Structure 1
Amino acid sequence: MAVGALICGLAGAAAAQELPARVPNPAITTVEQADAKLADVKRERDAAEADYAAAEQVCYAKFFVNNCLDKAKETRRARLAELRKLEIDANYFKRKNSVEVRDRELEERAQRDAAEQASRAAKPPAQRVNPDDKPRPVPLVKTPAERQAEYAERQKQRQAADAKKASERAQNVADYQRKQAESAERQQRVADKKAEREARRLKREADEAAKKAAAAARAKEKAEGKPRTVD
């Protein structure tokens, strides 16, 4: 009964050391929000490492050290995985926003060029002073239809690139989580083996102590002249 109560008490204390592993993930709509989110991720990651270091010190003072450390490591792993997702989302938004800004600038430049071309076409050509002078070649300017087609092609390529990056991002997250799970499984196997060795050692020590106690009792009985009892 006493051992059971001790185990329950230690299990409750270890559970109390667990820290929240999830971070809210609101939608990012501006570059400022993305930058703020990246700053939050850095602070949260530093806090997760500090909390894990503090939890380690607490665990080393407990009886079931390995069990406590495993829970602290799992809490840290979950927090870092969540923060990594937020970091990926914020960086993806910034890259996407940069591409959209560049495309808008190119489209605005195309519209200005088209307006200038239309303005030049509406003006009559200036008369040449010298009839022998050859006219200067007019630089080729793309028509609005051609520029619109190029813009549509760029949009198509950007969407394909975004889809590819999203797939790669999902695969990276899956690979990271798989590696973390494999690492946790390896650590658990190591902890189980340590626990088994510790249990065998304690049993050997208990058996040796019982044998020594029995031998001491027999020696005392013999010294006192009492008849020897059979174990």
Structure 2
Amino acid sequence: MSPRGDRWRGQRVPGAIEDVLSRAYGGDHTPYEWLARSVSGSAGLVLDLACGAGAMVDRLAREGRTVIGLDRSEAELHEAARRGRGPLVAGHASYLPFADDSFDAVVSSLGIAVVADRSRLLSEVARVLRPGGVFAALTPSLRPANTSDLRLVGRLAHILRVAPQLPGLTEFKARDAFQAVGLIKAEDKRAKYYVEIRTREDAERLIGGLRGATTPKRAAAAVEFLAARADARGVVRIPLPMRKLTAIK
């Protein structure tokens, strides 16, 4: 087992999701760069909501801008600090410790997909955004897909007993949710990214970042399947369809 083998033993290792998304490419960019493009260059104060290890803090950094990362997980915030990211705030995405009309933009990579009370989170986002401010979020998606992708995903789902996707709800009606809190939906797009598996460590990293397998034995079996397939073919490309939502206050 590699030193990173604990990633697929049913424990969510801090930074695991970033390890997957930072290696997922669609054309010349990752989902993080896709999300970052939704933030105007004039945005001076930005909140990265449910920031995890702080991937977006880095990707949004620029001269004259402050990007604050917020997460409820102490372990993720420790990992973000270890990676040199900040400023960081410990807090719940549904009860933001910030004043009304504070931020020019709020972003979230997967936070809107995993939070238990989405309407509460969106209400807080609307509260802390300044008029004209932008909210941009990534979620997993089930589309787009082709036949070969579906065949491979089906094999992995059979092994894992769960769809091989990033954590969170894949599809929900965004327009109504935004309107309920005073936000106007500006964009709802889907794009397909791929993670390339060439080694066993690549397979462990992927399985560690996906939503949890039903048992560690099944997670290990999925790693074996991907590693063997990569040995035989040189590379295995795992599809990760993503959805980007943007709204304006």
| TM-score normalised by L of structure 2 | 0.20
Structure (1 or 2) with the larger CA radius of gyration: 1
Higher strand share: 2
**RCO greater where, 1 or 2, for CA within 8 Å and sep 6 or more?**
2
Higher helix share: 1
